[in-house]
Amino acid sequence: MAGSTSTVGSGRTPASAGRASSPASRRPGPGRAILRYTALAILALLFVSPLVFMLVTSFKSRVEAAGVPPTWIPHPFTTQAYSSILGASGTPVLRWFVNSMIAAAANSGLVVATAAMAAYPLARMEFKGKKIVFSAIIATLFVPPVILVIPNYLIVGKLLWLDTLIAVIVPTAASAFGVFFLRQFFLQLPRELEEAAVLDGANRWQTFLKVILPLSKPALVTLALLAFLTNWNDFLWPVYVLFSPEAQTLPAGLSTLQSANSVRYDLLMAGAVIASVPVLAMYVFAQRFIIEGVSRSGVKG
């Protein structure tokens, strides 16, 4: 149990132990392995070929990108689409990239911080009104986000946040999903450590910071990544609240490069690559946390 304080480390051990002894992999015969890899490879091909197509198209010339039938190897290979996206005056793509990074990072930080603080008493404390607060938060999960757009637009306008990044950071930070998700996770945590901390004279805030948060790192990383992704890809809301070219986020900005009536697949795909490579890299880095974040095994053992 003592080991659990260092969470991630100890958290992984029982999980991998479970994995090692899980039925499918216990004694993988060679036939089974071949079958598995064949299935995985076919699935992977289905999954990845559209993405490869996207990458390939981003290196095609304007004409070839809309060519029929589409080709799998660009001929000629050109980075023209990238240079015309990155070089276009009046469309500061790098600025949009930075804006998106700032907005998504700040938003996901805010989501995680506020949701964790709210989830803690909902998981661990008894107080009057708890049920009502929690029910109200859960109920809003069912409200289609589109209904919030206009009222929030008017509210953000009153706060003079329009055309600033705050408008895409703050209003979407009240995550009902986040509170629900973290509360679930906190409920699974062993209480003994908290009790030990309390005996050592820690107050609730210190317990939260020193015991709960370190134990919850996988869940927090998972939520942070999901919030980051949502904010990174959000399109409808930024279009409404950001007006000037230098205030745009990446998806809203990149869409202005698209002409209404002519199809520029080369630009579109190059834009998509620019927008998705950073998040994909982030996922590869964070994926081990995600598996643990949703799993309770790490902390149960």
Partner 1 sequence: MSEHLYPSSLTRRGFFALGGGATAAALLAACGGGKSATDAAQGAATPSGTFSAGYDGPKVTLSYWNGFTGGDGPFMKQLVAQFQKENPKIAVQSNTIEWAQYYQRLPAAVTAGKGPDVGAMHLDQLATNAARKVIVPIDDVAKALGLSETDFTPEVWQAGIYKGARYGIPLDVHSLAMYYNTDQFAKAKVEGAPKDAASLQDAMDKLKAAGIATPFWMPTRWPAHLMFLSLLWQNEGEPYAADGSKATFDSDAGVKALSWMRDTVTKGYSPANVAIDSQYVAFKNQKLAVTWDGIWQINDLNAAKIPYELAPVPVIGTTNAVWANSHNFYLTKQASQDPNRLQAAKVFIDWISKKSAEWAGAGMVPARKSVRETDAVKQSKQGPIAAEIAQLKFLPPVPGLGDVQAQTLEIAVANAILGKQEPAAALKDAASKATKLMQANQKKFGA
Partner 2 sequence: MASSQTTSGTVPGRRATSSDGVAAAAPGSSATRRTSWRGGATPWLFMAPYLVLFVGFVVAPVVYGLWISLHDYDYTLPGKPWVGLDNYAKLFSSDSTTAGPFWQGMRATGIFTLFSVPLLLAVPLAVALLMNSKFKARNLFRALYFAPYVLGVAVVASLWRFLLDTNIGLVNQYLGAIGLPDSIPWLTSTPEAWVALIGVTVWWTLGFNAVIYLAGLQDIPAELYEAAKVDGANAWQRFMNVTLPGMRPVLSFVTMVTIIASANMFGQAYLMTRGAPGTETRTAIYTITETGLRNFQMGDAAAMSYILTLFLMLLSVVVFWLFRERSA
Contact between 63 and partner 1 per CB under 8 A: yes
Please choose, out of 2-10, 76-84, 85-93, 134-142, the segment that lies near partner 2 by the rule CB under 8 A.
134-142
Whole-angstrom Cα distance, residue 301 to residue 40? 31
Whole-angstrom Cα distance, residue 224 to residue 230? 10
**Inter-helix orientation angle 217-233/8-20, to 10°:** 90
Question: What, of partner 1, partner 2, none, does residue 290 touch, CB below 5 to 8 Å by kind?
Answer: partner 2
**Contacts of partner 1 in 231-260 (CB under 8 A):** 239-241, 243-245, 252, 255-260
Please choose, out of 1-9, 78-86, 89-97, 193-201, the segment that lies near partner 2 by the rule CB under 8 A.
193-201
**Which of 44, 88, 98, 209 is in the footprint of partner 2 by CB under 8 A?**
44
Whole-angstrom Cα distance, residue 183 to residue 122? 7
Contact 66, 263 (CB under 8 A): yes
Question: What, of partner 1, partner 2, none, does residue 9 touch, CB below 5 to 8 Å by kind?
Answer: none
Terminal CA-CA length for the chain: 8
**Inter-helix orientation angle 176-188/130-139, to 10°:** 130
The percent helix, strand, coil of the chain (3-state, each to 5) is 75, 0, 25
Q: What is the closest distance, in whole angstroms, from the C-beta atom of residue 50 to partner 2 in the complex?
A: 6
The smaller minimum CB distance to partner 1, of residues 163 and 217, is found at 163
The smaller minimum CB distance to partner 2, of residues 88 and 155, is found at 155
Contact between 72 and partner 1 per CB under 8 A: no
Contact between 160 and partner 2 per CB under 8 A: no
One-letter amino acid identity for 159? Answer: L
Please choose, out of 1-9, 79-87, 89-97, 148-156, the segment that lies near partner 2 by the rule CB under 8 A.
148-156
* E strands, the chain, in order: none
Whole-angstrom Cα distance, residue 269 to residue 267? 6
User: What residues line the site for partner 1 (CB under 8 A)?
Assistant: 62-63, 66-68, 89-91, 153, 157, 162-163, 239-241, 243-245, 252, 255-263
